[in-house]
Chains A and B, each alone.
Chain A
């Protein structure tokens, strides 16, 4: 009996953490390839295709290159913080993956019931918000510890930008939270299943605010002011090289994946297929014959990559914002819109309750 407890409470979660970290690292590595490919095609270029068939091994080559590169620590940098900063930005990014439900149905394996998420806490979304806002410390410390002007300016910008955009981001999330009546990530998806449609339809404004803020939070184009190469060389990453630089990039792409996963869970129905309550479309869960969890994973991954594609598409389309424009957009547009979204959602919910009860 004791061994069973040990397996279910220690071994299985450990394996799940390992699987999620491994699969996610691979997915993130291939997100870089996806990005380079899509950007290349948008610009009528070929994109990497020398390493392996159509460049399929490019991420591995990049990884090896970054591992073998000289790892420079500037003379006057704060050594401890300089080394710590990339780690601080990577850990929260990966930690946020802990509460994301990759599929809805648990499955049996070797006589143990396994849930396709690492943990399901009833404050999942709050956990993600609090963990992901720690990522800004990595960037700030990296800029500060480099003891150089461009990184410092870049990290200051980054701090201001991330603090500003966290507000509309948080407010945009409140819409689906109110509609679901729970902050648990699985609970939100189940609420969408009960409602019979994804929250993207009633909450399109919220998704818009969330996505724009999410792009700003992850420092991606068109909001990549912290690393604007025309002005700041490479921002907070200027003094970094080798594996530490790779860690910053890993953090950035992990954050992208996390933002996409949250958008998928909260607005796009998580593991649900399109029109989850229409029986005629149940063939869309075509992986059900193996396991319902597998088709859940398929739809989840499909949606996450669709959102990632949108990310890259936007990067390939829009030029970088000026700094004051960025702040204007955040405080004067996204914040009021997301606030109005919260108020309207609350009003509609209350009115519906009155009408129903």
Chain B
């Protein structure tokens, strides 16, 4: 910038007014605050909440075949599975399936090796509201893994 223009800009405080223009533009932009308990944020499709189990959406059959791959890959050792024969059919299923949400680090590694097709038996859900009154509550059994961890609300 040549000297005269620079002098002009300094004399008429152009930079200061430019700053004020930015703030007044912001004044009329929509706010980005989310009033959380009342409004929920929009989650990305691949948002990683707590891992949960799902059944076959059509037959409502257990999808998990008890291969223990998720248990083995879990870096926190928070998944423990007891395998049993599938009643009245071929193959195996999980007799008990426990995820300790207290230890889960939401890495999503358990989903990657899951061999069931076309959808995985274990998946990263969009649940993130995890709070409870005791640590025991976070050791989640299979029924709660399928239906979702119950959200406890504060009561007066």
Cα distance, A40 to B28, chains bound together (Å): 11
A-B contact pairs, 13 of them (CB 8 A): A41-B26, A42-B26, A43-B26, A44-B26, A44-B29, A45-B32, A45-B33, A46-B33, A313-B23, A313-B27, A314-B20, A317-B22, A318-B16
Cα distance, A44 to B22, chains bound together (Å): 12
The reply to whether A38 and B20 contact each other, CB–CB distance below 8 Å, is: no
Which residue of B has the minimal Cβ distance to A40? B31
Cα distance, A46 to B35, chains bound together (Å): 9
The reply to whether B19 and A41 contact each other, CB–CB distance below 8 Å, is: no
Which residue of B has the minimal Cβ distance to A316? B23
User: Which of B23, B29, B31 has the most A CB atoms < 10 Å from its CB?
Assistant: B23
8 Å CB contact of A44 from B19, B20, B33, B35 = B33
| Chain B, 117-149, CB within 8 A of any chain A CB | none
Residue interface mask B1-31, A partner, CB < 8 A = 1: 0000000000000001001101110111111
Report the interface size for chain A: residues with CB under 8 A from the other chain: 13
Report the interface size for chain B: residues with CB under 8 A from the other chain: 15
Query: Which residues of chain B are within 8 angstroms of A42 by Cβ–Cβ distance?
Result: 23-24, 26-27
Query: Which residues of chain A are within 8 angstroms of B33 by Cβ–Cβ distance?
Result: 44-46
Query: Besides the contacts A46-B33, A318-B19, what 4 more A-B pairs have beta carbons closer than 8 Å?
Result: A41-B26, A44-B31, A46-B31, A317-B22
Residue interface mask A252-267, B partner, CB < 8 A = 1: 0000000000000000
Nearest first, the 3 closest Cβ-Cβ pairs linking A and B are A46-B33, A317-B23, A41-B27
Query: Which residues of chain A are within 8 angstroms of B23 by Cβ–Cβ distance?
Result: 42, 313, 316-317
Query: Which residues of chain B are within 8 angstroms of A38 by Cβ–Cβ distance?
Result: 27
Query: Which residues of chain B are within 8 angstroms of A44 by Cβ–Cβ distance?
Result: 26, 29-33
Cα distance, A318 to B20, chains bound together (Å): 8
Cα distance, A40 to B31, chains bound together (Å): 9
8 Å CB contact of A317 from B20, B30, B32 = B20
The reply to whether B24 and A313 contact each other, CB–CB distance below 8 Å, is: yes
Which residue of B has the minimal Cβ distance to A50? B35
Which residue of B has the minimal Cβ distance to A45? B33
Query: Which residues of chain B are within 8 angstroms of A46 by Cβ–Cβ distance?
Result: 31, 33, 35
Q: How far is the CB of B155 from chain A (nearest CB, A)?
A: 21
The reply to whether A45 and B16 contact each other, CB–CB distance below 8 Å, is: no
Query: Which residues of chain A are within 8 angstroms of B30 by Cβ–Cβ distance?
Result: 44
8 Å CB contact of A41 from B20, B22, B31 = B31
Cα distance, A316 to B20, chains bound together (Å): 9
Which residue of B has the minimal Cβ distance to A43? B26
Cα distance, A317 to B13, chains bound together (Å): 14
Cα distance, A317 to B23, chains bound together (Å): 6
Query: Which residues of chain B are within 8 angstroms of A314 by Cβ–Cβ distance?
Result: 20
The reply to whether B19 and A317 contact each other, CB–CB distance below 8 Å, is: yes
Cα distance, A193 to B33, chains bound together (Å): 47
Residue interface mask A39-75, B partner, CB < 8 A = 1: 0111111100000000000000000000000000000
Q: How far is the CB of B80 from chain A (nearest CB, A)?
A: 44
